[in-house]
Structure 1
């Protein structure tokens, strides 16, 4: 299949356009975008394919899409900014900012433990509905009173969706603004970029329709077939919240294709952005970009120290991700360009990160979610890594 790739690439980054086009091989219904900044300069801004395969509408330069867990990286940036401003302390108990959180034995949990998936709240104990998850105060109250699933601090498990309300409420308690409002004021608006945690009505027509392909559906079916129905599957519940979301995270008008969920602030996975916006945001985390530099070198170093790695509490085969204070770090599971890379990937193929050693801000976004053996972003990152080694300086 020949794909028409639109946009622009700086001459010295020409190899990236082919790597991006390669991602469409055998995927006639896919849409995607790729943006890269190098030392603050836009060097790659590409898009191709379909924004909605149902009506064959094309992906264009202003198409945005759900970024899933890439949203967690944006919350980690907000938290790091608050630490930098002296308004938040990574070592402080969460209850210093959110007193109600201390219920049911959670009073010793620190901000770092909450951000590093160690709080014991990776899934709700009771099944939730869509009406629950679009209600911020209901969700934060539910998590604040919940007994942890394991002794906090003794281990970790990925807080796939609950992370957003936990970190987001911490941000709200410190700033007096919702996570989405604070994100707009502190990051998106200063950079003049199209990214939202809580989609405004005016941007709804720009959002791509997201679908789960056969590889993801097969993976979910295989996991379900091997599940012991007599034992709570907390990993599955962390994704579905006990039924509020489909296992694939999207359906025809459900999950993160549901306008109600897109409009609500669901910061564990519900951010919506263009690739251009995410590449600019991550670039600004490490270097001045369009007049904005989000983090000092000292803040970045503190925020990216390894806090969580290795086997999780609820056992899964390795290799496993690695996290700092909210940031996903380079690991065997998610390779960035160098060991200094930090950011966050997202369900089904999204990847966004900064790499201070190379000066790169990177974002690859797609609306075709895949499961096993998804090498689309990995191939582009590998190509970029090889290319950077050939550049002078």
Structure 2
């Protein structure tokens, strides 16, 4: 399989790892981009545009990145805080009065960002059509009683993060979340990412679908922990209920779904778009706009939640929105912050090394975090940095 694109001197291991993903790990179509100190040092793509097709992946191919979208949504709220429009220690109900219902009066904005709000599930799941309606989604989470006292524990808000973050942004700015991200994040950063895909961009997005992990031996074989497997198998578990807050699962290749704005799950991006977004959080990119001040970077990655996750079951770490480096989602170093997307994609920034990373794929595996293809690329970036000093 031909790998296209370029790598800067010292980052040759990333090209090798990217090619190996196709040869050994069943990759169908994918791209990876890496920035260092605001300069692109890796820009690679290969395979097919569609998981079930033959047309080649091109430099502008974009894909659904699932929960990697959460990192963008969190950044939007932190940007509002940076501008003095959002108090992280204020009750959510101060901005969104309807949210005070059902025992959520003391939920703080920081609880919502860090998966501590206690509303990862909906007693009545929404259909895909209902989920795409921001009014219905916001009303559902506002009425929902928490399953733990807000602020006392953490658990991944897999789907409800869409309406929690989206409605808070809408209440503060008066703009739909997708428009706010387009105007205040994507455009200033020059990043090819969308929440609510415009009609004009539909043709560049490849078809995604499930892929099975190849049969392999040694370190390539992964076996889920029994407790995790049982949680996903139990229809009454918080795990199943959290991921099932929208049911049935939407068709991610449906243009109507892609045009909706669900900040937890349906962002569309190129690998370069994700990497460039994170590069713009921590510094100037090609002399352009820096989105976060150094103080906001530190705020984003200040640990808010750590330990056993009541939804994902495994141990997770979260800052004020971003997932942090840890065993559940290894990134480049302890100081990295970002977000994976279930089944493949990964994007993050590592301020200490000045690295921003973005990986997208059209083949989704069953893993929620720590996809082996993304991890192979992260290890290769680390190897390249070690040779550069």
TM-score w.r.t. structure 1 length? 0.91
Q: CA deviation at 1:244?
A: 3.1
**CA offsets, 1:96-140, max 9 Å, x none?**
111111111111000000011111110111132112111110110
Aligned counterpart, 2:310: 313
Q: CA deviation at 1:292?
A: 1.0
Give, in whole Å, the separation in 1 of the partners of 2:110 and 2:229: 36
Give, in whole Å, the separation in 1 of the partners of 2:51 and 2:388: 38
Q: Is the 8 A contact 1:349 1:365 kept in 2?
A: yes
Gaps of 5+ in 2: 215-221
Aligned counterpart, 1:301: 298
**CA offsets, 1:6-56, max 9 Å, x none?**
111112322211111111124666100000011000111110001114331
**Cα distance, 1:55–1:388 mapped onto 2, change above 3 Å:** closer
**Cα distance, 1:335–1:170 mapped onto 2, change above 3 Å:** same
Aligned counterpart, 1:183: 181
**Alignment match of 1:345 (pick from 335, 340, 345):** 340
Per the alignment, in what secondary structure is the counterpart of residue 235 of structure 1?
helix
Aligned counterpart, 1:143: 141
Per mean C-alpha deviation after superposition, the further-off stretch among 125-134 and 108-117 is: 125-134
- 1:1-393 pair list within 5 angstroms: 3-26=1-24, 30-215=28-213, 226=230, 232-241=236-245, 243-245=247-249, 254-290=250-286, 291-313=288-310, 316=313, 319-372=314-367, 374-392=371-389
Gaps of 5+ in 1: 246-253
Give, in whole Å, the separation in 2 of the partners of 1:230 and 1:269: 22
**CA offsets, 1:216-266, max 9 Å, x none?**
9x999x999957999722211211225231xxxxxxxx4322222111111
CA RMSD of aligned residues (A): 2.3
Give, in whole Å, the separation in 1 of the partners of 2:379 and 2:234: 43
Per mean C-alpha deviation after superposition, the further-off stretch among 92-101 and 235-244 is: 235-244
**CA offsets, 1:316-356, max 9 Å, x none?**
2xx42210110111111112111111011111111100000
The total of aligned residue pairs comes to: 378
**CA offsets, 1:275-322, max 9 Å, x none?**
011111100111111311011111111221111111133572xx4221
Give, in whole Å, the separation in 1 of the partners of 2:299 and 2:79: 12
**Cα distance, 1:228–1:159 mapped onto 2, change above 3 Å:** closer
Q: CA deviation at 1:383?
A: 1.5
**Cα distance, 1:196–1:379 mapped onto 2, change above 3 Å:** same
Q: Is the 8 A contact 1:133 1:244 kept in 2?
A: no
Give, in whole Å, the separation in 2 of the partners of 1:335 and 1:155: 22
Q: Is the 8 A contact 2:25 2:373 kept in 1?
A: no
Q: Is the 8 A contact 2:190 2:276 kept in 1?
A: no
Per the alignment, in what secondary structure is the counterpart of residue 16 of structure 2?
helix
Q: Is the 8 A contact 1:6 1:46 kept in 2?
A: yes
Per the alignment, in what secondary structure is the counterpart of residue 47 of structure 1?
strand
Q: Is the 8 A contact 1:349 1:376 kept in 2?
A: yes
**CA offsets, 1:146-189, max 9 Å, x none?**
11122212211100011011011111111111111000001111
